[in-house]
Amino acid sequence: MQVDTRLLIGDDRPDLDPARAIEVTNPADGRRLATIADATPSQVNDAVTAAEAAFEQWRRTSGADRTRLMHRLADLIDRDADALARLETADNGKLLRETSTQARFAARNYRFFAGLADKIHGRTIPLDSWDTFDYTVREPVGVAALITAWNSPMQLLANKLAPALAAGCTVVIKPSELAPLTTLRLADYVAEAGFPRGVVNIVTGGAETGAALTADPRLGRISFTGSVPTGQAIARAATRTLVPVTLELGGKSANIVFDDADLDRAVPGAVSGIFAAGGQTCIAGSRLLVHDSIHDEFVERVTEVARTIVLGDPIEEATQMGPVASSAQRQRILGMIQQAQADGARLMAGGRAPEDQRLAAGYFVEPTVFADVDPVAAIAQQEVFGPVLVTHRFADDTHAIAIANGTEFGLASGIWTSDVSRAHRVARELVAGTVWVNTYRYSAAQAPFGGVKKSGHGRERGIEAIDEYLRTKNVLIDLSTRVRDPFSIKA
């Protein structure tokens, strides 16, 4: 699939400046895929200006018309889903079967929020005085900055762009410079679908580009998915402009297996939770908590699967795990593995870059399992964002809950049990935005998603997500004909 890698500012596509260019590479083989722009602060300013100008028209566009355009966008994504999946796999190294699912999930997200675009309404409020009429209206916040990570660009963007468009916001999108290509392809789709110029703007680049965007006081909302340090930097910038922020950050999610679990289902659930995407998801079940009575058997079964996972080209059907996203990310992961071994963690599988010469050009890390890890060890507390699983023993429900809640993160968690009462009890006690029971990594457009603690705040997906892009205005009307005392306050 050919991609125009230029910025989108209104309907302008400025030529790439060779002096401000970033190369995009395929993490499976290190091959150069494209060259993108490193947008200047001036270009970011122009993008926000274009979005601000378009907002006056877009906010007056009827919900029915926004619905029609969003369905058309979803149709275009479905039409090209296979090509988009191949492009994203080349860009970020995820398995083709996963990016294929994510392309279609993105289209589903646009359709879900298209259904809400004409159903945004306020309420009437009865006040204490009979002769007053009070009501609320919900209005779009204005220009939204949407900043996405490299691990799932299509899906992450749909989580943000779909509710923003439905709410009547215009947007400036900044994808990660490591995997921007499917986002840049979106520029063609919004034009083909018929969106007015300036409703969607796209800037690419590194830290300077992101800092220029998040510092703009004209924004009505910043929505960011990525690392905790970057999220903290964005939140600090937003305090200066008082722009509200939605943050979807990291995780160190606990996947809890009780002694009454169906192990034949729980083993693949534990493997999928951490290795299906190479551990490069914020929801990765990177901490496996197993009841004492089944711990050794269960961990051995998971380890055996980890040892047989097929690494390779993510395009190939036989491949079960692809590369990590970059050379720097691989070095970071391997460094954390080495430190865990130095700290005494018991290595059960993996722990290094593969020796297979067919994989030498790519950024691969073997599926890694550590057993009997101290819950307070660095490898059990810090997000690795790679194919590294740590396991913990627990004695009872209370012990499992304490370990699960014992990190600074609170994004997701899993429970494996045959006891429905236990499932509800434990789910109630887990400090996490999502709790899965007898499954893991299940996503739905209708289900709200987001974290607590250092995993962020705000929600994406579900009807809750559109609230991130709306604000409430209260209108109070005095229906009486009386002249009121100007020095008294009517309550």
Catalytic residue of the set 282, 366, 460, 468? 282
314, 351, 361, 364, 366 from 355: Cα distances, Å: 18, 12, 11, 10, 10
Cβ distance 132 to 476 under 8 Å? yes
Which residues face 222 on adjacent strands?
145, 245
- Count of other CB atoms within 10 angstroms of residue 240: 10
Place of tokens 């810090």: 382
- Cβ distance 384 to 378 under 8 Å? no
CB atoms within 10 A of CB 482: 7
Catalytic residue among 98, 177, 248, 468: 248
> Is there a catalytic annotation at residue 300?
no
Reading the block at residue 216, the tokens are 């703009």
Whether the CB-CB separation of 373 and 345 falls below 8 Å is answered with: yes
Cα distances (angstroms) measured from residue 108 to each of 59, 77, 159, 162, 339: 23, 10, 10, 10, 42
- The question of whether 248 is a catalytic residue gets the answer yes
Give, in order, the Cα–Cα distances in Å from 159 to each of 146, 147, 460: 10, 11, 6
The residues that are catalytic are: 248, 282
